[in-house]
Amino acid sequence: MIQEKAYFFDMDGVLFDSMPHHAIAWEEVMKVHGLSFTARDCYINEGRTGESVIREAMWKARNRDATPEEVNSIYAEKAAYFHSLGEAHAVPGVAEVLQYVKAQNAQIWVVTGSGQLTLIDNLQSVFPSVFQRDRMITALDVTHGKPDPEPYLKAWERSGVAKEQCVVIENAPLGIRSGKAAGLTVYAVNTGILTKEDLSQADKVFDNMAELLAYLQASSKH
């Protein structure tokens, strides 16, 4: 009997090529508020909730926590700026990975630190018949975002699949740490500006989705 498998996909930088837009939006909005946040900061911190990112930036700049009003205001501005940059497209090659995984009758989950509902809603239109709302863990579902293991632990618990049959697909160091801390196998695809060294905590690192797909296909034949 073949055991059921589950694949847990991060969203930004794995499903959507949205990280360049996130980097621009965060950098510009933080600048308006006198906070420093570079494109590399954005990629390194990808996976954290927006609240966590804002509070850390405030501590660095002013040695104090951000107020709830500041968090809400800055995040709303960032989300609006991000939205103004236009729709993010699918990461090249990820549709083929999803088709392959779906053909294996595996569970497909989204595990994201994002709370931006426009992106989450876009999953249905960009990847029709792939994702189900009850197989999504977002910033709205967790108390602690990545790198805490909570997001991936919650997805794993809800999946009912044995840990050894679960695979996390990530693109960011914090997401990798979250998946590994949850006791799961993590594959990283370097879709952004980070180095392989930045992603070295993953079980395997791929340069693109085509490499990941080839590996998954070869592995299934063993």
Domain edges within the chain: 6-17+89-220, 19-84
| Mean pLDDT in residue range 84-91 | 92
Those residues with Cβ within 8 angstroms of residue 53's Cβ, 6 or more apart along the chain or in another chain? 26, 37, 45
Tens of pLDDT, residue by residue over 92-113, are 999 999 999 999 999 999 999 8
pLDDT for 29-82, tens place per residue? 999 999 999 999 999 999 888 999 999 999 999 999 999 999 999 999 999 999
- Tens digits of residue pLDDT in 156-165: 999 999 999 9
Predicted pLDDT at 164: 96
What is the CATH architecture of 6-17+89-220? 3-Layer(aba) Sandwich (3.40)
Instruction: Give 176: exposed, middle or buried? Use CB within 10 Å, 0-12, 13-18, 19+.
Output: buried
CB atoms within 10 A of CB 85: 13
pTM exceeds 0.85: yes
Question: According to the model, what pLDDT value does residue 1 have?
Answer: 34
Cα-based distances in Å from 129 to 4, 40, 98? 19, 34, 11
Question: 16 phi and psi, to 5 degrees?
Answer: -110, 140
* Spatial contact of 109 and 137, defined as CB atoms under 8 Å apart: yes
Burial tier of 68 (Cβ tally within 10 Å: 0-12, 13-18, 19+) = exposed
Q: And the tokens for 94?
A: 């990820």
Please confirm whether the linkage preceding 92 is cis (ω < 30° from 0): no
Domain 19-84 is of which CATH architecture? Orthogonal Bundle (1.10)
